[in-house]
Structure 1
Amino acid sequence: MAGSTFSVLGSDVAIKGNISAKADLHIDGRVDGDISCTSLVQGETSEIVGGVTAETARLAGRVRGSITAGQLVILKSAHIEGDVFYDALTIEQGATVEGKFAHRDPEPKLAIAGGTDAG
């Protein structure tokens, strides 16, 4: 089988609508809509207005919406307006984030029903 695919949206591209991709995305343009992909790389000139869901994300531009990522890197040029949910997080000094951070629990603990009967 071939390796994973990689798609690029150049700085001259503006999309209105949601993007769902099994591919890795590199976005330099503007997206008005939610993005769901395996891996996202956002350029410094890019703007995303909508939610981002990715296994890995490297953000350098502006995002107005919530972000959910397993491995998230926020570069110093990034400006995030929204809540951030992550498993692993790196933020460069100088990045701006206006919102809440919450660590995701990858395996929610199950309540144990019953227990031992001491009766």
Structure 2
Amino acid sequence: MFSKKPDQAPRASMASKPMANGSSTFSVIGSDVTIKGNISASTELHVDGRIEGDIRCASLVQGEGSVVHGAIEAESARLSGTVVGSISARELVVLRSARIEGDVHYDALTIEQGAEVEGRFAHRVPEHRDVDQTAGDKAASAEGEPKLTLAS
């Protein structure tokens, strides 16, 4: 009456199930969580809480109420909370609710109107580019031109 057939065993939810390559799909730090220390993630990290330390991950999504006191290094980052520290990302999106205090290093940058940034912006130099190029040669290289997008 209460027995289960072997093929009807409970299955794990997709959010916690590892992908075929062995890594999870994403990790979430909830709004009620405070972490003191550095964070490293090999996949997407969604932060709604407070982080007091550096973050290194493949992709970062920061919620509006989130606060990060530390450096951020990611391939892509979508920021909508407060960051006090430097940011380095290949592709960076700064949403209108974001408040950033620190230097920003990027390959491609999108900033919504209303976002606040106190710091310097610097286009990252791709690793394959010759460091000894003159300023004129850098400007002539269409491949190495910085990309800036202003969103409304």
Paired positions, count: 112
Identify the residue that residue 96 of structure 1 maps to in structure 2.
116
Which of the pair is proportionally richer in strand? 1
Distance (whole Å) between structure 2 residues aligned to residue 110 and residue 58 of structure 1: 29
Q: Find 2:101's aligned residue among 81, 84, 87.
A: 81
RMSD over aligned CA atoms reads 1.4
User: Higher Cα Rg: structure 1 or 2?
Assistant: 2
Q: Give distance in 1, aligned partners of 2:81 and 2:55.
A: 15
Name the CA distance, whole Å, in 2 between partners of 1:4 and 1:87. Answer: 26
What amino acid does structure 2 have at the position aligned with 1:44? E
1:108 maps to amino acid: R
Consecutive unaligned residues of structure 1, counting only runs of 5 or more, are: 113-119
Normalising to structure 2: TM-score of the pair?
Answer: 0.70
Aligned-residue offset at 1:110: 4.7
After the TM superposition, list the runs of 4 or more consecutive aligned residues in structure 1 that deviate by more than 3 angstroms: none
Letter in 1 for 2:34: A
Unaligned runs of 5+ in 2: 1-19, 134-152
Equivalent in the alignment of 1:108: 129
Structure scoring higher RCO (CA < 8 A, sep ≥ 6) equals 1
What corresponds to 1:5 in structure 2? Answer: 25
Matching residue within 62, 76, 80 for 1:42 = 62
Deviation at 1:21, TM superposition (A): 0.9
Q: Distance in 2 between matches of 1:73 and 1:12?
A: 24
Flag the 1:60–1:110 CA change in 2: closer, same or farther, 3 A: closer
Structure with more helix by fraction: 2
Q: What is the match of residue 81 of structure 2? A: 61
Does 1:27 pair with 2:35?
Answer: no
Letter of the aligned partner of 1:15 in structure 2? I
Alpha-carbon separation, structure 2, partners of 1:85 and 1:110: 17
Deviation, structure 1 residue 5: 2.3
Give, as a single letter, the amino acid of the residue that structure 2 aligns with 1:45: G
Q: Could you state the TM-score of these two structures normalised by the residue count of structure 1? A: 0.89
Rounded Cα–Cα distance in structure 1 between residues aligned with 2:114 and 2:91? 19
What is the letter of the counterpart of residue 48 of structure 1?
Answer: V
> Using the alignment, how far apart are the partners of 1:4 and 1:14 within structure 2?
22
Q: Structure 1 residue 111: deviation in Å?
A: 4.2
